[in-house]
Amino acid sequence: MGTSSLSQLKQHTTVVADTGDFATMRIFQPQDATTNPSLILKAVQKPEYRPLLDKAVADNKGKSVSEVIDALLVSFGTEILKIVPGRVSTEVDARLSFDTARTISKAETLIALYQKAGVPRERVLIKIATTWEGVKAAEQLERTGVRCNLTLLFSFAQAVACAEAGVQLISPFVGRIYDWYKKNTGKDYTGADDPGVQSVQKIYDYYKAFGYKTEVMGASFRNTGQILALAGCDLLTISPNLLESLSNSTEPVARVLSAENPAARNAEKISLDEKSFRWLHNSDAMAVEKTAEGIRAFAADGDKLVSLVTSAME
């Protein structure tokens, strides 16, 4: 049997596991792992992760629900870092997406908890929704050595703002872009014709053409075709079912994206202040709808996590 598609992909791209499930990480051996409120909610309801919840409650007696949740998120991240050699992404409460000051405060709280657990800050990425307020929070955090992963990213405007802010990493959502176009046009898309794939290719080429250091991590995939069409991207974060598909496949994986690729060499460099950012982002109906929908969904799962933790505290 030939080399698996997953092993081949790892030669071109840093593979990241998009899950809160430790067993998955042990099987597929990704470099990094990403979590979000939905993944943590899903994981913490499994019996094998209940001890993490119980410990967070026991260790934080007399503290607020919010403090217990912070402890829970960090305990998940700390356990993940015992498995993956690289970094873990931990998300700031989606309800803070339009509050720069509180996003900074929450990020600093999470980093302090990680440091207390013996985790160096360079192994943690704080995930923040790519609103203007989120980008401004990340810009300030990066200056103090807190590395950020800007998530729920759908528009070119969001990507440009992140690069200008010196953000460590962005997570453009390939699958959700694909979902929107499929629903709105009634067409199916594959490979290089996929609008989600095209979005990441454009961002990647733009960053490399102008020497931005911000890492591009394609996220939210619907099928392996989308992943293979972005082989060579800095990082790709992949769900357990698609990691399994790639590990069971021996389909050849060719590098598609390359920093030497001149595709965007004649692109025009743009600079965005708040007004031009809002105008450019709001010119993209898909991006506006998907960013708002993503924030609502993460906030709803955050509320469910609050309920779960509250009942565990009683």
Q: What residues act catalytically?
A: 127
Q: What are phi and psi of 281, to 5 degrees?
A: -65, -45
Q: How many angstroms separate the CA atoms of 248 and 131, rounded?
A: 38
Q: How many angstroms separate the first and last alpha carbons of the chain?
A: 54
With H, G, I as helix, E, B as strand and everything else as coil, classify residue 15: strand
With H, G, I as helix, E, B as strand and everything else as coil, classify residue 295: helix
Q: What are phi and psi of 304, to 5 degrees?
A: -65, -35
Token duo for residue 66: 């919010």
Q: How many angstroms separate the CA atoms of 42 and 39, rounded?
A: 5
Q: How many angstroms separate the CA atoms of 269 and 252, rounded?
A: 35
Sign of CA dihedral 277, 101, 17, 21: negative
Angstrom distances, CA of residue 108 to CA of 16, 144, 293:
24, 10, 26
β-pairing, 88-91 vs 169-172, is unpaired
Q: How many angstroms separate the CA atoms of 292 and 25, rounded?
A: 30
